[in-house]
């Protein structure tokens, strides 16, 4: 946060809530940042709701990473999904007012169950506890369209793995693009095919940036919000430094060539999208 980031996200499944909670608390207490200047996004997943962790981390200090698995659970495991969400919220919201955004981490096998969880999140939005909603790891464009058609609070964010393993997720991205849903991409730096793509390397060299920076910029040029998953301050700085860069445009030759490489499969499209869910 000292270096500029104002949007933070975490997830219980990625075991980073302790760090995020500790960092937030320190930044708020030392005055580095005010709550209203932050965008805090987290995720909830079937039967395991993450917000209690982040909220209690903010409110009461560090909460053990396994909080939700330690009995008693903050909800009745046998209760219907919607009731679990409501119960969890009641026990979690002790003073911290809201999350900026909560994503449903992974859709259920049955889309009706996904909708039921989303309904509970909608209720929390109506109560002012969450400002925006979204879905993550949804790789079936039809499933997304179905959900969009059945939700009352609109889906404003889709956060998906965007690399060879999801065949670059073009169909879901297209739904998002056409409907004005923010598409948050992650996992792209793990694609060696992309990082080493000759047209990407040429673009990076021309603009004197690293291939990774070029990818962040391309995501932006193409209308995605790229997530930065670095553990190094230097890499974070590199990511943020290309944000305001204006020299790279969608109709540049190199940019069009990388786009084509991604679409015609030069950069790989091996695994089933199911593998991408985590």
Binding site for ligand NAP (CB under 6 A): 9, 14, 136-137, 159, 186-190, 210, 212, 227, 229-232, 235, 238-239, 278
For the chain, give the secondary structure using H, E and C: CCCCCCEEECCHHHCCHHHHHHHHHHHHHCCCCCHHHCEEEEEEECCEECHHHHHHHHHHCCCCCCHHHCCCCCCCCCCCHHHHHHHHHHHHCCCCCCEEEEEECCCCCCHHHHHHHHHHHHHHHHCCCEEEEEEECCCCHHHHHHHHHHCCCCEEEEEEECCHHHHHHHHHHHHHHHHCCEEEEECHHHCHHHHCCHHHHHHHHHCCCCHHHHHHHHHHHCCCEECCCCCCHHHHHHHHHCCCCCCCCCCCHHHHHHHHHHHCCCCCCCCCHHHHCC
**Least distance in angstroms from the C-beta of 261 to ligand NAP:** 18
In the complex with ligand NAP, which residue's Cβ is closer, 127 or 196? 196
In the complex with ligand NAP, which residue's Cβ is closer, 71 or 274? 274
In the complex with ligand NAP, which residue's Cβ is closer, 30 or 231? 231
In the complex with ligand NAP, which residue's Cβ is closer, 95 or 271? 271
In the complex with ligand NAP, which residue's Cβ is closer, 56 or 166? 166
């Amino acid at each position: 946060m000292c270096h500029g980031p104002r949007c933070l996200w975490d997830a219980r499944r990625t075991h980073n809530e302790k760090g995020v909670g500790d960092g937030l608390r320190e930044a708020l207490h030392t005055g580095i940042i005010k709550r209203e200047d932050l965008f805090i996004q987290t995720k909830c997943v079937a039967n395991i709701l993450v917000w209690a962790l982040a909220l209690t981390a903010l409110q009461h200090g560090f909460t053990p990473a396994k909080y939700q698995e330690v009995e008693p659970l903050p909800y009745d495991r046998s209760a219907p999904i919607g009731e679990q969400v409501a119960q969890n919220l009641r026990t979690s919201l002790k003073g911290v007012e809201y999350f900026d955004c909560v994503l449903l981490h992974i859709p259920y096998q049955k889309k009706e169950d996904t909708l039921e969880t989303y309904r509970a999140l909608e209720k929390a939005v109506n109560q002012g506890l969450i400002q925006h909603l979204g879905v993550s790891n949804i790789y079936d464009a039809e499933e997304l369209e179905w959900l969009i058609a059945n939700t009352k609070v609109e889906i404003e964010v889709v956060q998906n793995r965007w690399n060879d393993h999801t065949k670059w997720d073009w169909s879901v991205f297209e739904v998002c693009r056409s409907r004005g849903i923010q598409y948050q991409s992650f996992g792209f730096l793990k694609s060696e095919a992309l990082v080493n793509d000759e047209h990407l390397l040429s673009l990076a060299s021309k603009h004197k940036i690293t291939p990774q920076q070029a990818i962040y910029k391309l995501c932006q040029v193409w209308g995605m919000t790229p997530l930065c998953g670095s553990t190094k301050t230097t890499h974070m700085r590199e990511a943020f430094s290309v944000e305001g860069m204006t020299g790279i445009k969608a109709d540049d030759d190199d940019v069009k060539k990388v786009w084509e490489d991604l679409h015609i499969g030069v950069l790989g499209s091996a695994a089933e999208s199911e593998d991408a869910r985590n």
